[in-house]
Structure 1
Amino acid sequence: MTELNLVKCGKLNDIQGLGNLPYITELYFTCCTSLQSLTVLPPNLKKLYLSGCEGLKSLPALLPPTLESLNARNCISLEKLPNLGHLQRMTELILVNCSSLNDVIGLGGLLDIEDLNFSGCTGLETLIVLPPNLKRLDVDGCKRLLSLPDILPTNLKHIFARRCESLEKVQNMKHLQSMIDSIFKNCSRLDDILSVDNLFWLSLISYQGCINMARADHTLQSLIMPPFSEYRPDFTLVTPKIEIPDWFICRKNDDPIHIDMPHTSIQRFIGFMICFICTSSFPSYNIVIDNQTCSSIYTHKFDNGSHTITDEVISVVIQVQKQIPMRGGDSIKIYGSPASGITNIGVYLVYKPSDENEKKDDKPAIIENVK
């Protein structure tokens, strides 16, 4: 026997002799609601799965060094885990809705962990260090989490931090050059702005529902994202409602923006910066760039998430690289759909630097208005 699976054993409160089962590599406890502790585990265990064990308070003080996967879900009484630092073979750590858990020790020693999920761990207060090769971090619903580690793993690509009501700041992310998306949604105390200047792969950063940012002295100009990158076709920034800067060409309500592309500098033109203010009641919006001169259309879709049911007003800024032919004198029409959800829309044209010295200094793409 290599696997032991106990399901809905509601009266089971203890299990003896697991340490004498050297051939057991996988252990499953599902909805064993009276199980309070596991004092010892099989010595060669590779996978431990715990789901709905509502009375379980602790795991053995020393976990088997062979353990590769620890998956605990809805274990609402689990208060602490033993030090995980010696588990060199561990590749998966999932702790979901373990609401009594307030700390996890030894994460820095988990060299092969790339995906870490602490969603719904409402008692988790600190994460001092993370696995060094981590690529994805999910702390959704960690209501007591005050901050993320001062130094985040350099390979980190995805951060999901929704409904982290106590989260006040996130440290500088300049070194996270693999970062693709960072979602801080409904983190009501967050008012610290992430520096994203060097994140050329970044495609989305969302502060939707972070009401402290709307109260603080932030403008869209101070939140403007990093320069265009040949590796990133577009970029999206979402914030609570912040007014469109006056250096955008702006229209209200459902009026489209009409631009005649300048003849000068057209060779340096690389894309559009578009800002719009909308309600969150629609699951998605389309921003349409229509070159009416050559009958070419590009549509950029902003996905707001189908789960959104409030009428929160948000500001969205997108950077869109040149996706359709553009020539000097072309007539461009830019508008949003559905128009009923958009109250304001603005656009700015972005160009490559004209001075060779600027290019050598690796300065960002300059932004020029339409005359």
Structure 2
Amino acid sequence: MSGSFIKELSFIRFKNVTIMGFNDCNFLTKLPDLSSILNLKELIVEKCTSLVEVHDSVGSLDNLLKLSFHECSNLRIFPRRLKLRSLRNLNLSDCSNLHEFPEIGCEMKYLSSLNLLRSAVEELPISIRNLAGLDALIINGCKNLVLLPIFLLQNLRKLGIGGPTMEDEILLSEERLLDLQHPTNSSTALQVLNLSNCPQIESSFFPKSSFFTMFNSSATLRKLILSESEMVSLPSSIKGFVALSELYLRDCEKLEEILELPPNIKSVDATGCISLQRFSEVLRILKFDGSHIRSLHMIQLGGCKKMHEKIWNYKVPNPLLWKVCIYFSHSLSQFFVRCMTLKLMMMILV
């Protein structure tokens, strides 16, 4: 019933309905008792800007697989407890007036994705431990979030995190997190950490908080996204992230130096880092020492004007040759082969 003028749903009595969609129903203010619709598998209520309340019964629909209230900007009253044993996907993104996240009242082992992007949620309850199969948690732009016990999510692989005042909030919640953390089992399977859209992250932030270690990420983190942050220097503690293979620093316009990289890194994307002028690994390559990191196969420096100038002016036999290889080679494992081939071709032409 997308785009309809419907105001209430009390007339619905179809017990065998499996999919319900009410997108762009801007006059809908309340979702009623749906407990009689036992076979409901998908409930999609998106961009319903007048929706304020969702009945508690929605939190107990045993066969529900997908639940979305994306861009229901006035949603304030949500089921206090979720017992959705079959749920795979829960989307509460851009619910900018939803402050309370429900308790998880049973094991919801099939829930793989929880999207709280730009919601007003203030804390995630300890009962999120019941989301045993959660793979992706998106909380970018959750500026009110002060409690984030992700160490309880043992199978989490993708984490999107960030917000306009994230520095203050992380520092505020850090002691609470450490108090809650189990001393003998703090590790998770976290593979992706996304701190993009965090303009408050600066070089002084990482040392004074233990953010890099509070989730024991060094042993499990595979992908780190710091794009668009305001840090000036990538913290040297990054080298302790032994499992990290992908590092994204796109459009960190204040970033000046990258002095250390993790030992097993595969790719670094520093596109748009206009202030970057010190990148130790690139300088090692320019000195013909080769990368000290065997796994490294790609460095992207598009738009890094100061690095472009440094590489162009670097005293090597043929700086143009190096410039072509650094910026246009898709693989540093082919880096030296391509350079040698180009050099040989130039010698033949001469």
State yes or no: 1:236 paired with 2:290: no
In structure 1, runs of 5+ residues without a counterpart are: 251-256, 304-318, 334-371
Contact 1:75 1:97 in 2 (8 A): yes
Work out the CA distance in 2 between the residues paired with 1:274 and 1:140. 26
Q: By how many angstroms is 1:91 displaced?
A: 1.8
Question: Which structure dedicates a bigger proportion of its chain to helix?
Answer: 2
Contact 1:132 1:153 in 2 (8 A): yes
SS of the residue corresponding to residue 194 of structure 1 reads: helix
State yes or no: 1:224 paired with 2:257: no
- Equivalent residue runs for 1:1-371 within 5 Å: 1-42=17-58, 43-44=61-62, 45-66=64-85, 67-84=87-104, 86-89=106-109, 90-98=111-119, 100-105=120-125, 106-130=127-151, 131-141=153-163, 143-144=165-166, 146-147=169-170, 153-167=187-201, 168-169=205-206, 170-172=211-213, 176-188=218-230, 193-197=236-240, 199-204=242-247, 206=249, 209=252, 211=254, 220=258, 223-227=259-263, 234-236=266-268, 238=270, 241=276, 243=278, 279-280=303-304, 299-301=325-327, 320-321=332-333, 323-324=335-336
Work out the CA distance in 1 between the residues paired with 2:190 and 2:36. 40
Work out the CA distance in 1 between the residues paired with 2:323 and 2:139. 42
What TM-score, normalized by structure 2, do the two folds share? 0.62
Q: By how many angstroms is 1:29 displaced?
A: 1.0
SS of the residue corresponding to residue 57 of structure 2 reads: coil
Contact 1:71 1:93 in 2 (8 A): yes
Q: Could you say which residue in structure 2 is the equivalent of 1:357?
A: none
Work out the CA distance in 2 between the residues paired with 1:198 and 1:185. 18
Deviations 1:37-67 (A, max 9, x none): 1132343233211122121113111122323
| Matched residue type, 1:225 | L
Compared CA separation, residues 193 and 46, structure 1 to 2 (3 A): same
Compared CA separation, residues 83 and 300, structure 1 to 2 (3 A): farther
| Matched residue type, 1:165 | P
In structure 2, runs of 5+ residues without a counterpart are: 1-16, 344-350
Deviations 1:106-163 (A, max 9, x none): 3333211111112232332342324211111112445435338668754222222112
The alignment's C-alpha RMSD in Å is 4.8
Higher relative contact order (CA 8 A, sep 6+): 1
Work out the CA distance in 1 between the residues paired with 2:194 and 2:146. 16
Q: By how many angstroms is 1:193 displaced?
A: 4.5
Question: Which structure dedicates a bigger proportion of its chain to strand?
Answer: 1
Q: By how many angstroms is 1:275 displaced?
A: 9.8
Compared CA separation, residues 153 and 116, structure 1 to 2 (3 A): farther
Compared CA separation, residues 19 and 179, structure 1 to 2 (3 A): same
Work out the CA distance in 1 between the residues paired with 2:28 and 2:52. 9
| Matched residue type, 1:139 | I
Q: Could you say which residue in structure 1 is the equivalent of 2:13?
A: none
Contact 2:69 2:91 in 1 (8 A): yes
Contact 2:83 2:104 in 1 (8 A): no
Q: By how many angstroms is 1:11 displaced?
A: 2.0
| Matched residue type, 2:104 | L
What TM-score, normalized by structure 1, do the two folds share? 0.59
Identity of aligned residues (%): 16
Work out the CA distance in 2 between the residues paired with 1:23 and 1:210. 51
SS of the residue corresponding to residue 19 of structure 1 reads: coil
Work out the CA distance in 1 between the residues paired with 2:193 and 2:295. 27
Contact 1:174 1:198 in 2 (8 A): no
Compared CA separation, residues 107 and 193, structure 1 to 2 (3 A): farther
